[in-house]
């Protein structure tokens, strides 16, 4: 996983289903359904649609916050934050077959995440972001420190929050394994081209590090 799209309908300039289709065609590796206020029944229906769309495209499908919706929709995993169910509890519900991602916002939280039963750690916001309501970013030094902590545990880090063209190369150089974006992908008038452009920057950074993509 290198390019991770966060799909939130209110951030999309195109209909959400069209946006998801264009992101898939544009080469994203994962799509996270991120709808904080959607009624449960509608959320499950949307999750099942996205599961069907991603299943045949070799794209991971992740549900934000809701392990129950992840299970019911046969998602690949769930992503939780600091105020959600603890990763250990989520893991007990999901078993080992589904991925668990965990958001962190500081070195202390990153250190704790490294000791949790998660498959990847997200660190951010890298830069100010209206999507997540942060006026300040944590900066590249913090990204690098959390990446170093997680690397020692064999955990990949996803840089998140305020990701744009000018932040892709710095966060990847700081050690991130992937970038996650919402506005820069879903909020673009042409999500397909946006995904291709961000993906090209990610691959350039990966090539700089001499990593082979499996």
User: H or E stretch including 79?
Assistant: strand 77-80
- Using a pLDDT cut of 90, give the percent of the chain over it: 91
> Which CATH number goes with the domain that contains 30?
3.20.20.70
**Per-residue confidence band for 180, with pLDDT thresholds at 50, 70 and 90:** very high
- C-alpha span between 187 and 174 (Å, rounded): 26
62-71, 156-165, 202-211: least confidently modelled range = 202-211
Give domain status of residue 187, yes or no.
yes
Give domain status of residue 148, yes or no.
yes
Give domain status of residue 214, yes or no.
no
Phi, psi of 15 (to 5 degrees): -55, 145
**Number of compact structural domains in the chain:** 1
Give domain status of residue 152, yes or no.
yes
What is the domain extent for residue 78?
A: 3-208
Tell me how far CA of residue 106 lies from CA of 4, 136, 141, 175, in angstroms.
21, 13, 11, 16
Give domain status of residue 164, yes or no.
yes
pLDDT of residue 96: 93
Where in the sequence numbering do the catalytic residues fall? Answer: 34, 103, 132
Give domain status of residue 120, yes or no.
yes
Burial label for 53, CB within 10 Å (0-12, 13-18, 19+), is: middle
- The pTM (predicted TM-score) of the whole model is 0.93
133-142, 146-155, 185-194, 202-211: least confidently modelled range = 133-142
Give domain status of residue 213, yes or no.
no
């Amino acid at each position: 996983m290198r390019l991770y799209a966060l799909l939130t309908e209110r951030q999309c300039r195109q209909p959400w289903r069209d946006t998801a289709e264009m992101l898939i065609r544009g080469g994203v590796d994962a799509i996270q359904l991120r709808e904080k206020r959607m009624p449960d029944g509608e959320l499950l229906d949307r999750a099942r649609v996205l599961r069907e769309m991603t299943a045949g495209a070799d794209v991971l499908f992740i549900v934000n916050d809701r392990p129950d919706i992840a299970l019911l929709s046969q998602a690949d995993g769930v992503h939780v934050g600091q105020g959600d169910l603890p990763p250990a509890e989520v893991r007990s519900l999901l078993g080992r077959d589904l991925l668990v991602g965990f958001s962190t916002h500081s070195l202390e939280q990153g250190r704790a995440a490294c000791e949790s039963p998660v498959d990847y750690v997200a660190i951010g916001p890298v830069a100010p972001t209206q999507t997540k309501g942060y006026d300040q970013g944590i900066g590249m030094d913090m990204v690098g420190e959390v990446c170093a902590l997680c690397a020692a545990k064999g955990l990949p880090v996803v840089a998140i929050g305020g990701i744009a063209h000018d932040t892709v190369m710095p966060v990847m150089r700081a050690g991130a394994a992937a970038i996650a974006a919402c506005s820069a992908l879903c909020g673009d008038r042409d999500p397909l081209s946006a995904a291709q452009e961000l993906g090209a920057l990610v691959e350039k950074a990966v090539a700089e590090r001499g990593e082979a993509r499996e």
